[in-house]
Structure 1
């Protein structure tokens, strides 16, 4: 005799007898399935109910994070509307079999129609309805996008036989100034898709037998399309024209920029072209100049960290240093700080390379090393401009550090960044650059290391229990994790099936209290400084990431991606 669903869930320890009885009572009132009632009551997740149903009915179960169409041909023969109507998603197509995941494998009408559509035997597997909905949206969106790419490059095949050094191809690109030109369509499609995806970078990478386009979204690269290799030289020429670069030069790196205007947005595109052995690689950085809101409230500070940071950025003089790798959000944090403290009574000036965002009420200087306008040269001139507060994009040499320290010592507030792994190392990095210990200890107010972690997508966020391998990877006492809840995104159309949407900061704030200053005066090493800061209550980057995990904001994978376990 087949075991009942409720009995399976109780046996697995997913619900207790009391919850089952409550669901049975509600089932009699609502006349719905017992599994649905258990989900409504919050006793168990839909995913676990359908895993138990698969065991009851004898079907293979496909979890949400594995529900991906492995063969585009399978999607091509099953219309999207049909898939939505019958809550199914095609997974695999072979010479003899079409494999699908279904919420109801007993749907005879769907099975018959699938056999007619494919002309093959249909093998059904079980998946939860919400997981199938997300998989349908994501999978068929990819088909639509590839169709747009194919349409855009269809006419471009005519130029495939042209050698990439042939002037005819360059002439074609120069005259392809109308929106109807296929190479223009393709580049426009690429740019629009990147903007819609919130991408910060576009990578166009030529390989021996392929051309790959990847977007960096929320700090991680993801492949989005593969145009034909023959379209590569046309794309490069189009980007060079937009950036006012030398089309004929293919041996040397080139840098340029152009602006893209869309409704409500103005995107500054920073272009870098690098010659590879397989052709020229393009990287375009997208900077949204019009739509960025610089606010400390949106950066991810918890209440206590926010109070500490606000206290020190409002001091009349001294230095606030933020450290982290490229792309950690340092500039965003600094401009959010300036935006909060700026007033008509202050003269705030910045020296940057490059100026990424234009901020009203702040005087911004772009360095130009080619003509001698270095950080140090700009700073020497700014000292004669009656400044009150100063932001230096990066302290990277002794001369810049010396001017910044002297500026802070003469009653001014200085903000800057340093490339270092954590807050204590930032101090020793300044000492290594050449700042004397007695000056370093005197001028520093606060040092903060930061990273960006991806946020769990709120549209597909689910609770789960970490397995033994994940627990071991976190390198932490298991007793500390007992009773803690873990979440992750199972993937949906809203997040491009990544499980993440957006980013937030994690912060390691080191206040320069007396015991820390004394250690710096004595030229202490980073371990001694770290121990003193921890005794003062400093929260490390890793512990800050754990807080975000337990709050349901990010995942353990993100912790492992951006932080290092101290040994």
Structure 2
């Protein structure tokens, strides 16, 4: 049976919802959706409105005050020296989103922005050993006070208190649309959750991370960055924040926050300045202990670095540029996920992107927006797959076509047909080497003569961690026999400067940034003949070596001899 107090609260909340509608803050439909969202997230309506819909906290406090008959206490006029120090617990304040303000006799008055936050009153009552009463305050001011007090207490509160304080960038969060902005500097005065998420995204960009992982577990929660290809833990927020962090990220990426049973995809754009914006590709995944959310950072400036910055050897770069200048043919880039294929393709498109060319791309997803190029996001659910997009491109008077990936025979056949009829085609295939790319196409069912006649260049690639130039030291512990066994020649070792990682204030672990390792194979007449003769990948690899094209191991060893990468990285990126 419901108690009179709970019944009164429930009826008052309905009154608050009505006030939101009557005063034009939300529509009736938005209120119904909010009530459903709050129910699905197991939070109060007020908490949902503040955290998820970004309803103005001051306005909401005044409405709640009118509905509950409780005056709003002005935290800005409070003397912080009067706070009861014995009850100031940073972790408890963050967990309950409440602050004990003062004692009157045997009662402790606790500041809350949500009158339904009865759990906070109970927890502070238990900790203090006296009865508690709620004091209604503006959530924005409460969040700022919690951050300040938690910062003084240290720990995670310090991390949250510093969020949004960085003035290096003029930031805006663009929630899925270039017309809808959320000023991050305004968010610096918003809830700790908002500021924490913004700070994590900013830190990931500054550290050059490629991915951000928000991961809930049974008893803890962690955030990890993938930097230079390696995942590293950066912060461990309190476990109870998991639902609120997931909700915030899903709202930013325009996902359905009420749906937590199936994976979802979304997108966030963060505007760093008038000239620079960063996209985040977002995916949520239901796990046993909540939703794991991963963000892939898509920095459009990576496609504008220029081919000289990618790490090609001089002869490899010349082969790529030569293939790009041809009016027709197919260029294939291959490698595992995270090997830099997208940047290689976009760099090629950047070279080709001139007013006299019509360039169309079919991508899943569109990772980097490029002005002057017609980019199509494939959508298999409505019948727009890579093959269908290619068919349409051929009716669009194209000069250059880029297909995100060749996954099946239909896409391969249409791409090869385009490459044979006066179009330059660029695409990717998921294999480990140039030779394996040919055998993959053969296994799909593409005739050998079509491959030999259409494919002009194959690039296999990896990304290796670059040695920090400030602390790398000469490698003196590895005997020459081991180096020769690794693949070095005696001639290479006579002039090589091999170094190892150390670690310093610039890099922490001895590595700073990444550099590309490439196998670039031009389809010459001997290689084309081998393809026509049905050669397997080992035979094709041998013919490519005889033609003078370095494989990935040889290219990595050349980088190692120039002190760019370590012996450890040579083995890591070239051992399949």
Q: TM bucket by the smaller chain?
A: 0.5 to 0.7
Instruction: Give the corresponding residue for 1:507.
Output: 518
Deviation digits for residues 456-504 of structure 1 (CA, Å, limit 9, x no counterpart): 1223232231346994796447956466422133222322x12111111
2:203 corresponds to 1:193: yes
Cα distance in 1 for partners of 2:354, 2:292 equals 44
Equivalent residue for 1:548, pick from 551, 554, 559 = 559
Instruction: Give the corresponding residue for 1:397.
Output: 408
Instruction: Give the corresponding residue for 2:319.
Output: 308
Instruction: Give the corresponding residue for 1:436.
Output: 447
Cα distance in 1 for partners of 2:465, 2:475 equals 18
Correspondence list, 1:74-93, <5 A: none
Instruction: Give the corresponding residue for 2:294.
Output: 283
How many Å apart are 1:220 and its aligned residue?
1.4
Instruction: Give the corresponding residue for 2:218.
Output: 208
CA 1:252 to 1:474, structure 2 compared with 1: closer, same or farther past 3 Å? farther
Instruction: Give the corresponding residue for 2:357.
Output: 346
Deviation digits for residues 147-203 of structure 1 (CA, Å, limit 9, x no counterpart): 6325479xxxxxxxxxxxxxxxxxxxxxx9774212112112211111111111100
Instruction: Give the corresponding residue for 1:218.
Output: 228
SS in 2 for 1:356: coil
Cα distance in 2 for partners of 1:327, 1:538 equals 24
Aligned length: 400
SS in 1 for 2:277: strand
CA 1:468 to 1:279, structure 2 compared with 1: closer, same or farther past 3 Å? farther
Instruction: Give the corresponding residue for 2:336.
Output: 325
2:526 corresponds to 1:486: no
Q: Does structure 2 retain, via aligned residues, the 8 Å contact 1:354–1:367?
A: yes
CA 1:535 to 1:473, structure 2 compared with 1: closer, same or farther past 3 Å? closer
Instruction: Give the corresponding residue for 1:242.
Output: 252
Instruction: Give the corresponding residue for 2:111.
Output: none
Instruction: Give the corresponding residue for 1:564.
Output: 575
2:525 corresponds to 1:525: no
CA 1:418 to 1:477, structure 2 compared with 1: closer, same or farther past 3 Å? closer
How many Å apart are 1:542 and its aligned residue?
0.4
Cα distance in 2 for partners of 1:429, 1:283 equals 30
Instruction: Give the corresponding residue for 1:376.
Output: 387
Cα distance in 1 for partners of 2:489, 2:357 equals 52
Bigger mean CA offset, 419-428 vs 201-210: 201-210
CA 1:292 to 1:376, structure 2 compared with 1: closer, same or farther past 3 Å? closer
SS in 1 for 2:506: helix
Correspondence list, 1:11-410, <5 A: 148-149=158-159, 151=161, 179-263=189-273, 264-289=275-300, 292-410=303-421
Instruction: Give the corresponding residue for 1:452.
Output: 463
How many Å apart are 1:439 and its aligned residue?
0.8
CA 1:292 to 1:492, structure 2 compared with 1: closer, same or farther past 3 Å? farther
Equivalent residue for 2:438, pick from 427, 434, 437 = 427
SS in 1 for 2:347: helix
Cα distance in 1 for partners of 2:392, 2:489 equals 57
CA 1:395 to 1:294, structure 2 compared with 1: closer, same or farther past 3 Å? farther
How many Å apart are 1:362 and its aligned residue?
1.8
Q: Does structure 1 retain, via aligned residues, the 8 Å contact 2:327–2:422?
A: yes
SS in 2 for 1:494: coil
Q: Does structure 2 retain, via aligned residues, the 8 Å contact 1:510–1:533?
A: yes
Cα distance in 2 for partners of 1:326, 1:315 equals 28
Cα distance in 1 for partners of 2:303, 2:494 equals 40
SS in 2 for 1:493: coil
How many Å apart are 1:352 and its aligned residue?
1.0
Deviation digits for residues 192-241 of structure 1 (CA, Å, limit 9, x no counterpart): 11111111110011122221111011221111111111111111111111
Cα distance in 2 for partners of 1:290, 1:537 equals 33
How many Å apart are 1:387 and its aligned residue?
0.6
TM-score scaled by length of structure 1? 0.67
Give me the CA root mean square deviation: 2.5
Cα distance in 2 for partners of 1:490, 1:457 equals 8
Q: Does structure 1 retain, via aligned residues, the 8 Å contact 2:465–2:569?
A: yes
Q: Does structure 2 retain, via aligned residues, the 8 Å contact 1:152–1:182?
A: no
CA 1:462 to 1:365, structure 2 compared with 1: closer, same or farther past 3 Å? same
Moved over 4 A (4+): 143-147, 476-483
Cα distance in 2 for partners of 1:510, 1:434 equals 22
Cα distance in 2 for partners of 1:146, 1:340 equals 46
Unaligned runs of 5+ in 1: 1-142, 154-175
How many Å apart are 1:441 and its aligned residue?
1.0
2:475 corresponds to 1:464: yes
